[in-house]
Structure 1
Amino acid sequence: MRRIMKQNILKAAILAAGFCCTVGCSDNDSDLTIYIPDAGTAVKANFYIEDEPYVQTFNVAVTPETYPQLTEYGLPNDAVVHLQADPGKVDEYNAKNGTEYELLPEAAYDLTEEVLVKAGTPKSEEAVITVHAKGNIEAFKEYLLPVSITSVEGAVADHCCQTIYFIFRGSMDASNMELLDRTGWEALSASSEEPKEGDWGHSGLKEACLDGDLNTFWGTDWSTQHPQPPHWIVIDLKKTTHIQGFACQAREEGYDGPKEVTVEVSDDNATWTVAAKFKDIPAQGEFRSFLPAAVDGRYLRVTITAVNGGPHVTVSELNLF
C-alpha cells in the first residue's frame, strides 16, 4: 500500500513538473527583461490636423535577456514601466541618419508616463501619445519624438531596445486653411491694367484683386495693346511672411481666369525664388493649393503663363495662407 502511494506521489510530481513546463515555469524568470518592440527604428505617423487630437499607441514587452524577442509566458509578477520623451536623442538620431528633424514641441503632445505589464502577459497595456497638432505644429513638416524607458519596477530593463522614435507629420485640406490677413498689402506693379472695366463697376486696376470684393477684379489691357501672356502682378506684403499656400478667385462672370500660374517670393523685390507652379486651374470659382514647401518672403510675384478662354486675364482675388 505504501509502495503504491509513493508511486502515485511520484507520478503527481512528474505531472506537476510537466505542467510547469507548459505554462512557462521552466523559463528562468530572472532572465526576462523589458524592452520596446521596434526600438531604434522610426515609426512614421501621418494624419490630418483637426480639432480632435491624433492618437498614437505602442507597447513595451517581455523578452528573454539573450535576445529581444517576445516571450509567450510573461513575467511571474506585475511590472510597472516608466516612460519619458527623450529630447536629447534628437541630435543623436539626426547625426546618425543624416536628417534634420526638429523635436515635436512639448505643447503638441501628451505621453503616458507609465504602463503596466501584468503577470503572465507578454506585453504591456497600451502607452498613448496624444498629439494636439492644431495650432502647435506646422502642416506638412515632420517632427521627431524619441520616447525612452527610464525605469522599471518589478523587472529589469533590457540592455538595449529602450528608445523608440516617432516621426509625426500633419497635413491639412487646403479648403480648410485660414487665409492670411491682407491688411496693408499693396499691389506695387502689374504687367498691364484695364481702367475701362471701371465703367461697369469692375475696376480693372491691380488693387482690385486685394479689395475683398468679388464684383471687382484686376484685368489686363484689352482696349489698347492686347498683351499676350505672361501677365504678372507684384504685391508688397509689408513684412516677411510665412507662406504655406496660394489661392486665387476667378471673377464670377466670365471664363478668362488664370489657367497656369507661377508663384515667386522675394526679400528685396529684385531677386526672386520660385515657390510653386500650378497648372489646370479651373476657369471659375476659387483655386487653393499648398506650396510644395512653405516659404518666407516680403514680396509676392504672381505670373500667369496661360489663361482660360483667351489672351486677356481677370483675377478677382489673390490670397495666401
Structure 2
Amino acid sequence: MTKTIRNIFIIGVGLLLFSCEPQSLSIEDSEQYSRVFMQSAGDISIEKTYDITDEWHQLAFGAGYGGFNQLTENLVITFEVQPELVEPFNTQNGTNYEIAPENSYRLVQNTVTIPVGKTGSNSTRLEVNPLHFGGTRPVLIPVSIQSTTGSVRIEESKRTTYYVVSGGYVTNPYTPYAKNDWEIHDFSSEEDVNDEGPAWKAIDGDINTNWLTKWRRDANNQRPVHPHHVSIDMGVSQTMHGVQLFGRLGTNPTNMNHNFYLFPRLVNVEVSEDGSVWESAGIYSTALEPTPTPEFTIYFEQSVKGRYFRITVVNSHSNNGDTSAIAEIEAF
C-alpha cells in the first residue's frame, strides 16, 4: 500500500513539472548594461622589454562585448594612442614615464569588428621599434578605445591598455661619430712632462696613446686627486646615445692588473650645447674584471643632444690611487 502511494506521488510530481513552461528572464532596459571593453586593459600596465635593434615587434589586442542582449549588428571599434593619458597615469601610480617617441610605435590597423552574435573581435596590433626609444629607460604607450558604432557604451575602467616598453643593448647598433673636428674643451689635469699624457691624446684616434692625469707630485708633495674630468667639443651638435672608453694598454699581457688600476670605475657623463650649461646623461659603473686591455661601452638611459660632452672620472679601479687614464674616447 505504501509503495503504491509513493509511486502515485512521484508520477504526480513528474506530470506537474512537465506541464510547467520555462520562465523567461525579463530585464527592464537591458541595453543599459551592455558594454564594450579592451580585453587587455586592467589595473596594471603590460610591461615588455626588447633587444635594442632596428626591428618592429608586435603587441596584439582586441575588444570584447558583454551584456544581457546579443549583438544584432556588427560592432566596429576604433582605437587610438593617447599621449595625454601619460601624466594622469604617472600621478595615479607614482611613476615618471614619458610617452614613447612618436617614430617608435605605430598602430597597424586602428579598427576591429565584433560580429553579430559574438562577444569578441578580431585582433589588431601595436608595433614598437626599440631602436627609436631613445635609450634604455622605459617609456609608456596608452592605447584606448576611441569610439564604437551603434549605441553600446564603452566600459571606462577597461577602456585603455597601458604598455610600458623598454630596450636593452646586446650589441652596439650605432656608428661612432667621426672625430676629425673634435677638440679638447677643457680638462682637470694632464701629465705633460715628456708628452706623457696630454688630454688631446684621448681623442687622437690612437689607442696606443692616452690622457693621463698628473701623477707627479709638486714641491709640496701634492698631486691632483679624483674626480678628474675632460670635456670635448665635437664641433657640431649631435644626438648622443652613449660613449665608449678605452683604457691605457698594459705592457705586460700576463699581469691583469697592469694599468687596469688606472681605468675609470665610476663615470659621470654630461652633455652641453654651449660648453657652460651641462645636462647629466647619467652616472655609470664600469664594473670590469681586471684586464690588460680595458674597454667599456656606456649606453645612456635617454639619448641627449649637444655639441660638448664631459667625462668625469669619480674614481678609478685602484683602491687608493689618485690617478686615472683613458686611451681613447668614442661617442655614438
TM-score, length basis structure 2: 0.68
2:19 and 2:281 map into 1 onto residues whose CA distance is 80
2:175 and 2:65 map into 1 onto residues whose CA distance is 50
CA change 1:93–1:108 in 2 (3 A) is closer
Q: Is 1:94 equivalent to 2:87 in the alignment? A: yes
CA change 1:97–1:302 in 2 (3 A) is closer
The equivalent of 1:68 in structure 2 is none
Report the more deviating stretch, 303-312 or 248-257.
303-312
The equivalent of 1:43 in structure 2 is 45
The equivalent of 2:174 in structure 1 is 178
The equivalent of 1:320 in structure 2 is 331
The equivalent of 2:210 in structure 1 is 217
Pairwise CA distance, 1:260: 2.6
> Could you list the runs of 4 or more consecutive aligned residues of structure 1 that deviate by over 6 angstroms after TM superposition?
25-29
2:148 and 2:214 map into 1 onto residues whose CA distance is 73
Q: What is the identity, as a one-letter code, of the residue corresponding to 1:57? A: A
In the alignment, is the contact (CA less than 8 A) between 1:80 and 1:116 conserved in 2?
Answer: yes
Q: What is the identity, as a one-letter code, of the residue corresponding to 2:235? A: K
Q: Is 1:303 equivalent to 2:312 in the alignment? A: yes
2:271 and 2:102 map into 1 onto residues whose CA distance is 28
Instruction: Indicate the SS of the match to 1:270.
Output: coil
1:79 and 1:12 map into 2 onto residues whose CA distance is 39
Pairwise CA distance, 1:258: 1.7
Report the more deviating stretch, 215-224 or 254-263.
215-224
In the alignment, is the contact (CA less than 8 A) between 2:97 and 2:138 conserved in 1?
Answer: no
Q: What is the identity, as a one-letter code, of the residue corresponding to 2:234? A: L
In the alignment, is the contact (CA less than 8 A) between 1:78 and 1:116 conserved in 2?
Answer: no
The counterpart of 1:75, out of the listed 67, 70, 74, is 70
Q: Is 1:236 equivalent to 2:251 in the alignment? A: no
Pairwise CA distance, 1:206: 2.0
Pairwise CA distance, 1:294: 4.1
Pairwise CA distance, 1:195: 5.6
Q: What is the identity, as a one-letter code, of the residue corresponding to 1:84? A: F
The equivalent of 1:164 in structure 2 is 160
Q: What is the identity, as a one-letter code, of the residue corresponding to 1:266? A: S
2:57 and 2:88 map into 1 onto residues whose CA distance is 28
5+ long unaligned stretches in structure 2: 1-13, 251-258
In the alignment, is the contact (CA less than 8 A) between 1:110 and 1:131 conserved in 2?
Answer: no
2:48 and 2:122 map into 1 onto residues whose CA distance is 23
The equivalent of 1:52 in structure 2 is 55
Instruction: Indicate the SS of the match to 1:290.
Output: strand
The counterpart of 1:109, out of the listed 99, 106, 109, is 106
Pairwise CA distance, 1:248: 1.1
The aligned length equals: 290
1:106 and 1:220 map into 2 onto residues whose CA distance is 43
Q: What is the identity, as a one-letter code, of the residue corresponding to 1:303? A: T
CA change 1:177–1:251 in 2 (3 A) is farther
2:238 and 2:286 map into 1 onto residues whose CA distance is 27
The equivalent of 2:6 in structure 1 is none
5+ long unaligned stretches in structure 1: 1-6, 66-73, 199-203
Counterparts of 1:174-213 in structure 2, within 5 Å, are 175-183=171-179, 184-190=181-187, 191-194=189-192, 196=194, 204-213=197-206
Instruction: Indicate the SS of the match to 1:115.
Output: strand
In the alignment, is the contact (CA less than 8 A) between 1:229 and 1:305 conserved in 2?
Answer: no
Q: How large is the Cα RMSD of the aligned pairs? A: 4.0
CA change 1:314–1:166 in 2 (3 A) is same
Instruction: Indicate the SS of the match to 2:45.
Output: strand
Q: Is 1:84 equivalent to 2:87 in the alignment? A: no
In the alignment, is the contact (CA less than 8 A) between 2:99 and 2:140 conserved in 1?
Answer: yes
CA change 1:243–1:173 in 2 (3 A) is same
Q: What is the identity, as a one-letter code, of the residue corresponding to 2:49? A: F
Instruction: Indicate the SS of the match to 2:84.
Output: helix
1:137 and 1:291 map into 2 onto residues whose CA distance is 11
Q: What is the identity, as a one-letter code, of the residue corresponding to 2:78? A: L
Q: Is 1:148 equivalent to 2:141 in the alignment? A: no
1:232 and 1:163 map into 2 onto residues whose CA distance is 51
What do residues 60-97 of structure 1 show as CA deviations (whole Å, max 9, x unaligned)?
112227xxxxxxxx83657342323255xx33663686
CA change 1:79–1:207 in 2 (3 A) is same
1:271 and 1:157 map into 2 onto residues whose CA distance is 55
Instruction: Indicate the SS of the match to 1:176.
Output: coil
CA change 1:280–1:288 in 2 (3 A) is closer
